[in-house]
């Protein structure tokens, strides 16, 4: 059974996204208790960059969760409209999606894999001019792909030029090549570190469909330039695994999240945070006191069982609701 979580704030039931958005953000204060329910100690020694914050002085410091909205929910609309909508929904941070339908009706990648770092820098500046800091970009390549190393290397250079801290990658739903992943990540780790970029690997079904499986690879690579991104919705969707105990098995390697919820009933589908069966208090609890900056990038913001908004203003409302929900959860976790 999965842990359920209501999207409602303590003051009552929310009947619409607009009503939800009227709630003020609670003040965030330091919680005085240490992390509970830490994962069982690993059977082998791990490097210092994997040590869980609960074992260090940073356990007393709240994690600086950075709530971002991906442009992905706006993929049917131009990129400029996506950025404007995300800003209007109250976000300070954005994550680049994969592609957008522009005014001519054609679909264009947000950042082509072979684009120059200068091209990425231009888009990064455009985002900052709108008041948005970019936290993450998709690699658009499986690590085991024939040109996987070359594409990931260029993505690192693009991210560095655009001042993006995280490059996201993941494996094929049918599984990847474990040894090849390790070999390539060992080569990519130093390149990422030299450019102040972190490659983060998320769950995507197959042999890397859980955080535990991804963390096993990251520990073997043993490079602080390669870490885990946690996608609870994917863990539940692809493998029907409860993400709450799973994240306990990899929390010390997690450096960012792709935020999406999931429901198994009455219909099997992904949805926005707070609309599904995943308890986000339990999900973020293992990493709530790390002293680190940790992006929470909203990948799915939509309600289940109903049609998605056909107008961008409706997407703006859903983006705002997702942000407020996560702010309430974080405030609770960091409260005394």
State mean pLDDT over 197-223. 97
Inside any domain, residue 297: yes
Residue 46's pLDDT band, with cuts at 50, 70 and 90, is very low
Inside any domain, residue 188: yes
Inside any domain, residue 3: no
Inside any domain, residue 123: yes
Inside any domain, residue 7: no
pLDDT of 63 strictly over 70: yes
Inside any domain, residue 99: yes
Which has the minimum average pLDDT: 67-71, 151-155, 176-180, 261-265? 176-180
Inside any domain, residue 11: no
Domain extent for 77: 17-31+46-334
Q: In this predicted model, what pLDDT tens digit does every residue of 280-313 receive, in sequence order?
A: 999 999 999 999 999 999 999 999 999 999 999 9
| CATH number, residue 325 | 3.20.20.150
State mean pLDDT over 226-235. 98
3-class DSSP string for the chain: CCCCCCCCCCCCCCCCHHHHHCCCCCCCCCCCCCCCCCCCCCCCCCCHHHCCHHHCHHHHCCCEEEEEEECHHHCCCCHHHHHHHHHHCCCCEEEECCEEECCCCCEEECCCCCCCHHHHHHHHHHHHHCCCEEEEEECCCCCCCCCHHHHHHHHHHHHHHHCCCEEEEECCCCCCCHHHHHHHHHHHHHHHHHCCCEEEEECCCHHHCCHHHHHHHHHHHCCCCEEEEECHHHHHHHHCCCHHHHHHCCHHHEEEEEECEEECCCCCEEECCCCCCCCHHHHHHHHCCCCCEEEEEECCCCCCCCCCCCCHHHHHHHHHHHHHHHHHHHHHHHCC
pLDDT at res. 14: 36
pLDDT of 317 strictly over 70: yes
Range among 26-30, 48-52, 78-82 with highest mean pLDDT value: 78-82
Q: Count up the domains in the chain and report the number.
A: 1
Inside any domain, residue 88: yes
């Amino acid at each position: 059974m999965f842990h359920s979580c209501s999207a409602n704030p303590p003051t009552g039931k929310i009947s619409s996204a607009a009503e939800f958005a009227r709630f003020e953000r609670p003040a965030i204060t330091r919680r005085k208790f240490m992390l509970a329910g830490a994962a069982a100690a690993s059977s082998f020694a791990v490097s210092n960059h994997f040590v869980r914050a609960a074992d260090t002085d940073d356990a007393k410091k709240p994690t600086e969760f950075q709530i971002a909205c991906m442009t992905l929910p706006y993929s049917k609309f131009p990129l400029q409209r996506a950025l404007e909508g995300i800003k209007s929904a109250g976000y300070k941070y954005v994550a680049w999606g994969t592609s957008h339908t522009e005014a001519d009706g054609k679909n264009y990648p947000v950042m082509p894999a072979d684009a120059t770092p200068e091209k990425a820098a231009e888009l990064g500046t455009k985002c900052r001019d709108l008041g948005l800091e970019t936290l993450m970009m998709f690699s658009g390549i499986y690590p085991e792909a024939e040109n996987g190393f070359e594409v990931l290397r260029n993505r690192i250079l693009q991210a560095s030029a655009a001042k993006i801290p995280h490059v996201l990658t993941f494996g094929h739903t049918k599984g990847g090549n474990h040894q090849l992943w390790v070999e390539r990540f060992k080569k990519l780790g130093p390149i990422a570190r030299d450019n102040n970029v972190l490659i983060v690997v998320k769950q995507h079904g197959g042999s890397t469909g859980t955080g535990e499986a991804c963390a096993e690879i990251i520990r073997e690579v043993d490079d602080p330039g390669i870490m885990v991104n946690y996608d609870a919705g994917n863990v539940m969707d692809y493998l029907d695994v409860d993400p709450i105990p799973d994240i306990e098995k990899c929390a010390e390697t997690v450096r960012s999240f792709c935020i999406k919820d999931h429901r198994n009933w009455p219909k099997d589908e992904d949805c926005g945070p707070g609309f599904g069966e995943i308890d986000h208090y339990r999900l973020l609890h293992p990493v709530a006191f790390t002293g680190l900056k940790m992006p929470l990038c909203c990948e799915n913001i939509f309600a289940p069982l109903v049609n998605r908004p056909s107008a961008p203003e409706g997407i703006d409302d859903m983006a705002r609701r997702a942000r407020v929900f996560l702010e309430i959860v974080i405030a609770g976790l960091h409260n005394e």
